Structure 1
Amino acid sequence: MSLIRRLTGFVRLYLGLVALGAICLTWTPLALLLYPLLPARAGRLLGRWVISRGFRMYLGGLSLMGACRFDLDEVDALRGSGPMILAPNHPCLLDALMIVSRLPDVACVMKAALIRNVFMGAGARMARYIRNEPLIAMIRGAVDSLHAGQHLLLFPEGTRSVRTPVSPFQKSLALIACRARVPVQTLIIETDSGYLRKGWPLFRRPAMPIHFRVRLGRRFPPPDGDIARYTAELEAWFAAELAAPSLVPPAPAGAGPDALADPAIGKPVRSALP
């Protein structure tokens, strides 16, 4: 029975990865064709709707296979709520997919390398997602999207967490909120697995099913101009909120309270890492 469970787990893992790649590659040639033909607004709306539906279908497939269980209902309350920055913590690679799957018109700030990626690049460009560099262009694009009435998805940590409960926050989120004069809606992402965290090998099989939950946190008003203080307050709120999460991944043996496991080498990743 143990062998059967292990084989089933590998099948679920590989089918899930293949399915995500297939969804992205199916949309890529169509996005390449439509991008120069459609007006910017029509292309943006279509591109984001397709991405949202594709991710929702993918997460639904993971649920049907018994690989994951998702509790994302609270995110639905944000539909039609007006321009704001969506600010989640960032434990794993599925975080953006979970949020975008429930909201069909979100401007995402993405790493420039992902926008050049063969799997995601064409779709991201059609959806008018925003490159994270150069910084000035990213801030300008984010403010323009918010002034146009859209949600903006931006991870305050800038990348996946490398310490518990959150990594140091970047000041760009507070600066965008200040310039656009929009609130910051926090979201808390919790999971009971270390799957796809920093240091988790892509093809390492986790225990399944993996539970994910996204819940709404406090909504902060735009900063009054003190960017450093606002960023520190936001980071402190997340740290306090995540101090006793409802879902907790297993901790590595001997790890301190500020460390995450690096499953590739079996050692903790300390908060001093960049």
Structure 2
Amino acid sequence: MGLEKMLTRKINYYWRVAATGFSFATFGAGGLLIAVVISPTVKLLKRQPEQQHQLAQKIIKHSFKGFVDMMKALGIMTYDVEGIEKLENSYGELVIANHPTLIDVVLLIGLMPQANCVVKQALWSNLFTRGPVQSAGYILNLGSEQFIQSCVSKLLQCNAASLVIFPEGTRTLKGRKLNDFQRGAANIALRAKVPIRPVSIRCTPSTLTKNEKWYHIPDRPFHIEIKVLDALNIDEILPQTEVNPKNVRQLNVWLYDFFDKELSK
């Protein structure tokens, strides 16, 4: 019986390695399809750039949801969401989340009705991801004043979609609960004066972290737990909400402590 169990586990492990490789190959192919076929079609259907971005975002939302459901069906992962209704009704909010795995943004965008997103240079220029992120009008994180203003403008548009940002700036290092928070999210929140929607993400066992190859999979399917928390108003956090370095620093520290406590529960 022991030998049979070991054999079953090995077969399951190699199946999940192959299924994970297939999943990421499918994701890359989907990115190329969006770049080569869907993006030009969107431009033909919608003349205004903002309308093009909205349509592309909806296509990406359904593509990402399908990708996650495929990984679940293949036995690679499971996930559950607490407070999903808060995401489904999130418009014009700054959605901030910790970043334990490679697929966090895919999960979040797949769950939201529509979302803008901050992306790093690597995704903006990658052959397989630049098509989706550019056609959706996602914002390139250059760490500049123009970047901050672009985020604020997106949030303050009429009937604006929410903006997703990961304050850590990159995936959490393996073995750590959180990386230090960069101040971009706090800076944007202070300038836009919109509600902050915190989302905590846990992955058990840990996988797809920073500097971890896709084929370094755990010995069992991983489970992602997403908890959508109540919105936070800045004037309930800080006594003063003027945009200055001191308030940005204080808000950033407060947000880090908030996530640190939440993930320690």
How high is the TM-score relative to the length of structure 1?
A: 0.83
- Which of these residues, 23, 46, 57, is aligned with residue 30 of structure 2? 23
Instruction: Tell me if the contact between 1:165 and 1:239 (Cα under 8 Å) persists in the aligned partners.
Output: yes
> Which residue is equivalent to 2:255?
234
Q: Residues 27-66 of structure 1: matches in 2 within 5 Å?
A: 27-34=34-41, 36-37=43-44, 38=46, 39-66=48-75
Output the CA distance in 2 between the equivalents of 1:81 and 1:194.
Answer: 28
Name the Cα RMSD after superposition.
1.8
Checking the alignment, whether the CA contact within 8 Å between 2:20 and 2:71 is kept in structure 1 is no
User: Contact 2:94–2:196 (CA<8 Å) still a contact in 1?
Assistant: yes
Secondary structure at the aligned position of 1:220 is classed as: coil
Shift of 1:9: 2.3
* Partner residue of 2:187 out of 154, 161, 175: 175
Residue identity in the other structure for 1:51: I
Segment drifting more, 234-243 vs 4-13: 4-13
1:249 maps to what in 2? none
In the alignment, the residues of structure 1 paired with residue 105 and residue 145 of structure 2 have an alpha-carbon distance, to the nearest angstrom, of 23
Q: 192, 207, 219: which one pairs with 1:195?
A: 207
Which sits farther off after the overlay, 67-76 or 91-100? 67-76
Offset at 1:36? 4.9
**Deviation (angstroms), 1:75:** 3.1
- How far the C-alpha of 1:83 sits from its partner, in A, is 1.0
Q: Which residue of 1 is the match for residue 16 of structure 2?
A: 9
Provide the C-alpha distance between the structure 2 equivalents of 1:179 and 1:73, rounded to a whole number of angstroms.
29
CA distance change for structure 1 residues 102 and 134 in 2, over 3 Å: closer, same or farther? same
| Runs of 4 or more above 4 Å deviation | none
From the two aligned structures, give the one with the greater helix fraction.
Answer: 2
User: Helix, strand or coil: the match of 1:236?
Assistant: helix
- Asked whether the equivalents of residues 158 and 169 of structure 1 are also in contact (C-alpha less than 8 Å), the reply is yes
State the Cα distance separating 1:134 from its structure 2 match. 4.8
Residues 129-148 of structure 1 aligned to structure 2 (within 5 Å): 129-148=138-157
TM-score by length of 2: 0.86
Tell me how far 1:31 sits from its aligned partner. Answer: 3.9
Per the TM alignment, residue 73 of structure 1 is displaced from its structure 2 partner at its CA by 5.5
Matches within 5 A, 1:147-186: 147-148=156-157, 149-162=160-173, 164-186=176-198
- Cα separation, partners in 2 of 1:191 and 1:134, compared to 1, 3 Å: closer
**Which stretches in structure 1 are left out of the alignment for 5+ residues?**
245-274
Question: In 1, distance between residues paired with 2:200 and 2:218?
Answer: 22
Could you list the runs of 5+ residues in structure 2 that have no partner in the other structure?
1-6
* Secondary structure, counterpart of 1:219 in structure 2: coil
Q: Deviations over 1:144-196 (max 9, x none)?
A: 11001220101111111126321111111111111111011110001102211
Name the % identity. 24
Residues 94-151 of structure 1, C-alpha deviations (whole Å, 9 max, x = no match)? 1100000011321100012211221111221111000001521211111011001220
Offset at residue 35 of structure 1 (A): 5.9
- Answer yes or no: is 1:99 the counterpart of 2:108: yes
**Is 1:110–1:130's contact at 8 Å kept on the other side of the alignment?**
yes
Distance 1:144 1:42, change over 3 A: same
Within 2, Cα distance between the matches of 1:137 and 1:16?
36
Deviates more, 1:24-33 or 1:87-96: 24-33
Q: Is residue 2:80 matched to residue 1:71?
A: yes
- Secondary structure of 1:101's match? helix
Distance 2:232 2:38 in 1: 36
In 1, distance between residues paired with 2:178 and 2:102? 15
